[in-house]
Amino acid sequence: MKYITRTVWILSLVSLFTDMASEMLYPIMPVYLKSIGFSILLIGILEGIAEATAGLSKGYFGKLSDNSGKRVPFVRIGYALSAISKPMMAIFIYPLWIFFARTIDRFGKGIRTGARDAILSQEATPETKGKIFGFHRSMDTLGAVLGPALALLYLYFFPADYKTLFFIAFIPGILAIGASSLLKDKNPSIKKTEEKVHFFSFLNYWKQSPLIYRKVVIGLLAFALFNSSDVFLLLKAKEAGISDTMVIAAYIFYNLIYALFAFPMGIIADKLGLKKIFILGLILFSFVYFGMSVNENIYVYFGLFFLYGIYAASTEGISKAWISNITDKKDTATAIGTYSGFQSICALMASLFAGLIWYQFGAFYTFLITGIVTVVIIFYFTFAVGFPSIKKG
């Protein structure tokens, strides 16, 4: 475990506390918004604007981080904004204020993502990228287990007291801010440039990036375009007659498996290859979606959520580790920020497509089409994307 440095530990704890706060509110957010007068349409618009803000800002702030030669300020500001947004949503209930607070939360994610992942890449060698990113994902996802579990426990004793949960969620947010204050920049290899950064400047990186980067990201974005929100998996389970409590339990179970397997899958990826483990994850994903299209059994659902957790552990951190290994160090935040930004937009479109297909043709075709497309993407990564040499400069 020598490769898990102090900086990696700090970043992982910051992510754990932040995800604990966010995921504590995830199960109750739609219920809370409806309780203060938001319609389903307004909730959809709110989430769309918030996610678009995060997506578009990731590339910009990634580029800004690379050009400034700084990482830590972006990380601190990003996590601080996400923390303070939680109580903001409970102080006032006016729609414009809720929009502002939710956007602040996602804006914070956009500011920190590229810089944070660049720090993780800097703390690793090309041979330990899977381990470092896998460990971080394990800690991050542990927060997604603890957060909903604490929310369920609180609501068991205080039913429908949603507003108080937003203030409780501020506690792990404060811990995240405190932990981020321990971070220090240590990247003398990154030189500051005077290049002016416009909001869409990161798009120029796409033209200048290595061919292998474009090939990999095209495949990743094609997958993101059909990888809809996890909410659809939960809705399918609910449609099969599973109780609300069991649906939330399944979500917590999935995150627990994800947290437990992310680090081991990173270790395996460093030994066998990042691409191979990523493709394994896609195979598991397609199996889950084909299974979801026809299953009605509660026990099988938990088996599918188990495989879905391993899929996430095999792809989420691995994809960023892969990108950081095929791009120059000086462009790491831009490369990951650009990909993450496009991914956010594709994820929004994926959920829109899934919703339309479900509405028009039913859940069966929603999951079947996604499974089939994923098989095509597996062939793309297998035959169209080679095994490039690692960029070390």
Which helix (H) or strand (E) segment holds residue 27: the answer is none
- 192 belongs to a structural domain: no
Q: Is the pLDDT of residue 393 over 50?
A: no
> Tens digit of pLDDT for each residue in 302-353?
999 999 999 999 998 999 999 999 888 888 888 988 898 888 888 888 888 8
Interatomic CA distance for residues 79 and 251, integer angstroms: 24
pTM: 0.84
Which amino acid is it at 228? S
Interatomic CA distance for residues 64 and 111, integer angstroms: 10
- Domain assignment of residue 316, given as a range: 6-181+205-383
- 197 belongs to a structural domain: no
Sign of CA dihedral 54, 46, 252, 368: negative
Q: Is the pLDDT of residue 188 over 60?
A: no
> Tens digit of pLDDT for each residue in 2-48?
788 999 999 999 999 999 998 888 767 767 777 788 775 677 677 77
In the chain, % helix, strand, coil (3-state, to 5) comes to 80, 0, 20
* DSSP class of 159: T
Integer Rg of the chain from CA: 20
Q: Is the pLDDT of residue 172 over 60?
A: yes
Number of structural domains the chain divides into: 1
- 388 belongs to a structural domain: no
Record the tokens describing residue 40, joined without a space.
């389903």
> Tens digit of pLDDT for each residue in 207-259?
888 999 999 999 999 999 998 878 788 888 888 888 777 877 888 899 999 99
Q: Is the pLDDT of residue 167 over 60?
A: yes
Q: Is the pLDDT of residue 287 over 90?
A: yes
Q: Is the pLDDT of residue 166 over 80?
A: yes
What confidence score (pLDDT) does residue 329 get? 85
| Percent of the chain scoring above 70 in pLDDT | 92
What confidence score (pLDDT) does residue 232 get? 83
Across the range 120-144, mean pLDDT stands at: 92
- 38 belongs to a structural domain: yes
CATH code where residue 327 lies = 1.20.1250.20
- 390 belongs to a structural domain: no
Contact 330/191 with Cβ under 8 angstroms? yes
Q: Is the pLDDT of residue 195 over 70?
A: no
What confidence score (pLDDT) does residue 96 get? 83
Which amino acid is it at 101? A
- 200 belongs to a structural domain: no
- 340 belongs to a structural domain: yes
- The CA dihedral of 276, 227, 76, 24, to the nearest 10 degrees, is -120
Residue 84 CB neighbour total at 10 angstroms = 17
| Percent of the chain scoring above 90 in pLDDT | 44
Across the range 91-97, mean pLDDT stands at: 82
- 337 belongs to a structural domain: yes
Residue 291 CB neighbour total at 10 angstroms = 17
Record the tokens describing residue 249, joined without a space.
């339990």
Q: Kindly report the average pLDDT of the chain as a whole number.
A: 86
